[in-house]
Chain A
Amino acid sequence: MEFQRFSSPHLPAEHDINLMMRRVLLALLPGVACMTWLFGWGVLVNLALAGGSALLAEAGMLGVRGRPVAPTLQDGSALLTGVLLALAIPPLAPWWIAVTGSAFAIVIAKQLYGGLGYNPFNPAMVGYVVVLVSFPLELTLWPQAWHAPDLATTLSMVFAGKPPAGMAIDAITMATPMDSLRMQIGLGKSLPQLAGNSLFGYLGGTGWEWLNGCYLLGGLWLLRVRVIQWHIPVAMLGALALLAGGFHLLDPARYASPLFHLLTSATMLGAFFIATDPVTACTTPRGRLWYGAGIGILVWIIRTWGGYPDGVAFAVLLMNLSAPTIDYYTRPRVFGHRPGSAE
């Protein structure tokens, strides 16, 4: 009898990247639902725009590169990039923000480097940063939590680029809590003076604390099903909390509390869904701790002294840049080798 030849090991594989990506998307659902609840239809419109254009861009590039299109699209990585980008941009931003951002993410930041697994920078964050530095005004179009405009107004904002006749932009949009905090501090106000501001909730920014809670929930589930490992989120949140806590103790009037930092803006989204992108993160266990801590520190620095509304994207990209070096210096000791020698 003749049999087929295979290479060991022979047991069927336990994991699957398509499944991993689908699980990441699934874990985003509570966050997406919460964000829609807080900021209205624009979230879903953005998701459709960014997700759709990411898939289109991926398909187009794969076609140009002569790679199999359908099996690669099924891995879900392009859709995930689009979704993460959509969750980062304001729900009332004009449609071309989502499209430009995700097209840039997929075409330039991912496919030109060779596609999934070869990109040194987190594509969603590259896309976000490109639209952020190119169109800073459009990137401020956040509605106030629970005061989202209705569907008609949203569609008008997104596709016509202006509110329906007789409605002022300022009536619809609002600075985000993080942005507002930075501006107020910049104007010389102290934190206790801001306590009554409706933008600030119990723990973080109003509404944002819920959103971060939802992402945290999804992230914990990802940890539980072992799609991600604990090192990066724990190191990032830990470093952010420590740094924020230290400065908050020094001068509570100037520096926001660690809880505010943890539960406002994109902290949890970044910690569990963006910093943990395996392709662009460190791969050694110790390296992941450094990598996560680096992101946490940079996030706090950029938020506190930087010029942009949030630091997660820049922090992640900067640490992407350092990941190979960190990996090189944090190689684990190989079995049977002396401590301290990688040889």
Chain B
Amino acid sequence: MPETPPRPLDLSFTQRFRFHGGLHLEVCQEVAAAHPIRPAGIPPQLVLPLAQHIGEPARCLVAVGDPVRRGQCLAEAAGMVSAPVHAPTSGTVVAIEPRPVPHPSGLPSTCIVIDTDGRDTALPAAPATDYTQSDPAELLEQVRAAGIVGLGGAGFPTALKLEHRQPIELLLINGAECEPCIACDDGLMRERPHEVIEGVRMLRHIVQAAACVIAVEDNMPEAEQALRQALVELHEHDIQVVNVPAVYPTGGERQLIKVLTDREVPSQGFPADIGIIVQNVGTAAAAFAAVSRAQPLTSRIVTVAGDGVREACNLEVRIGTPVRHLIAAAGGYGSRIERLLIGGPMMGFTVDSDSVPVIKTTNCILAVTAQSMPAPPPAQPCIRCGKCTEVCPANLLPQQLYWFARAASHDAAQDFGLFDCIECGCCAHVCPSHIPLVQYYRHAKTAIWTQEKQKRASDIARARHEARLARLERIKRERAEQLARKKRALADKEAGDNARKSAIQAALERVQKKKEQAGTRPRNIDNLTAEQRRQIEEVDRRRVNRSSPQDPE
């Protein structure tokens, strides 16, 4: 954490600052947001993973065979860093089992599978809340209960992000798409600017931010215009709309903060540490719906694009809808697809099947052909040309990290800022040797995490073992002490007895002695008269007679 106070915010936001590196990417010239958002409809089956967010998977509340209705909570948050999952439509739970999910690992994960009934019956409407009349803590609870997570892609539980201990100077609403091709935020801002503005107002009420600004990229003039108009219509004068250069990855939280405020979020820290909270425009709108209409998060806008689909578009999709269904809604595959991407072209991941569902964090589906994204050429040796260093937005030395990651020099890699890498992919994109750099960093990070987990586990085991040894030792010592105490007590008792005995003995002896003294004391018989002697002898005689009574007289 920096000890120096962050520089004061320039609330006019007239100046734009630069972060190091970044790329101007010219892809996806066809803007999906140019077409109106269309509903994707209700598919026959929805697949709802329990883990759609960062943190603990939700805890399932329903059983196979249960009928469910739209808006019903299917799984509750399991702890603080978790989020509940709600039913996007009505139907029947037909399975709770591991299914393929959109995750880079490609591993299946537990999902609630619902056969939809097409009637889309909702739960009785819960009372809506006027946020202006509500306590922020109460609103936070509603946002939490509605299962709202960051819709920009990370999926961090929103309520948790809105809780803060520091006073918040700036609520920064991120309308800059994280990557080229993704247009769901653009579409939302163009078509539902009121929802966005209302959401922003509510979030601002919750975090009590001094200032509030919505950032869009300078290649989204329609969205910017729509927001400005909505601000006027809603008589909102205290929220600004600003544009930022469309340099990838400006949509990243830390980069966006840097561009607008020239502040850097401390490494390993959070934006709240420097008095800023960032929320995505989609998240703001979803949070508003959750409070003002009591709608949990059960649908989102997804961009479907790429040269492999017939028409790029934005779709309003129920969470859990299989990707296949979205592709069909976008006119189907246009040509032979080489890869199917979840997310954008820089940070998205491939899935091997289009049966995976859309989850809360799915912002984009790209179906691309081998023409636009051919298989990467074989990697050549790193020649240290430094192109990666030029473009790294974290100002790292990617090429050095690569050597360390390759050599499994984990300490050195961490020393060179491995964990400051945001995996934006700029370095790998410009690498003339076609080295899959990001893959190396991910591998190294995972290896370090695993190592630390193991170390923690072994530390715990060692601590336990040592505690056990200490306990055994203590018990042994205590037993020994107890024994010793007993022994001592016994010894004391004996010693006490002896003392008493010896006292008695001594007394007896004294008596005896006295007696003896009495019996043997030399008599004062010197210088006696004859008469006196006679009297003494007579007494003695009598005494002798008395003392031997058995002796009959």
Contact = CB atoms under 8 A, between A and B. Distances in A.
Interface of A: 1-17, 19-20, 71, 75, 115-118, 229, 278-279, 281, 283-285, 288, 327, 331-338, 342-343
A6 B339 contact: yes
B339 A7 contact: no
* Max chain B Cβ within 10 angstroms of own Cβ: one of A6, A117, A278: A6
A75 B379 CA distance: 12
B445 interface: no
Given A6-B376, A283-B397, A334-B417, A229 B429 contact: no
Contact of B429 (A14, A115, A278): A14
B45 interface: no
Interface in B193-229: none
Contact of A331 (B27, B351, B399, B416): B416
18 contacts: A5-B106, A8-B425, A9-B425, A13-B429, A13-B434, A15-B387, A15-B431, A16-B377, A16-B432, A17-B380, A17-B383, A283-B386, A284-B386, A284-B389, A334-B417, A336-B268, A342-B415, A342-B416
B180 to A, nearest CB: 9
Contact of A5 (B350, B372, B429, B434): B350
B395 A3 contact: no
A2 B106 CA distance: 13
Interface string B375-403: 11110111111110110011111011000
Nearest to B419: A334
A151 B428 CA distance: 49
A212 B151 CA distance: 58
B348 A71 contact: no
Interface string B1-41: 01000000000000000011000010100000000000000
Contacts of B351: 3, 5
Contacts of B106: 5
Contacts of B425: 8-9
A122 B382 CA distance: 15
Interface string B413-435: 00111001001011011111110
B420 A336 contact: yes
Nearest to B323: A1
Contact of A335 (B254, B338, B340, B438): B254
B2 A278 contact: no
A335 B429 contact: no
Contact of B383 (A6, A13, A278): A278
Interface residues of B, number: 74
B384 A9 contact: no
Given A6-B373, A336-B254, 6 more contacts: A1-B340, A1-B353, A11-B345, A17-B432, A336-B266, A342-B416
B429 A9 contact: yes
B260 to A, nearest CB: 15
A319 to B, nearest CB: 14
A14 B430 contact: yes
A219 to B, nearest CB: 16
B339 A336 contact: no
Contacts of A7: 436, 438-439
A10 B417 contact: no
B438 A10 contact: no
A229 B375 contact: no
B389 A337 contact: no
* Max chain A Cβ within 10 angstroms of own Cβ: one of B333, B382, B386, B430: B386
A222 to B, nearest CB: 12
A3 B375 CA distance: 12
Contacts of A281: 384
B264 A285 contact: no
Contact of A9 (B266, B324, B347, B389): B347
Nearest to B381: A117
Contact of A284 (B2, B339, B374, B397): B397
A267 B248 CA distance: 39
A239 to B, nearest CB: 20
Given A15-B430, A336-B264, A336-B269, A6 B375 contact: yes
B264 A13 contact: no
A118 B194 CA distance: 58
Contacts of A1: 324, 333, 337, 340, 353-354
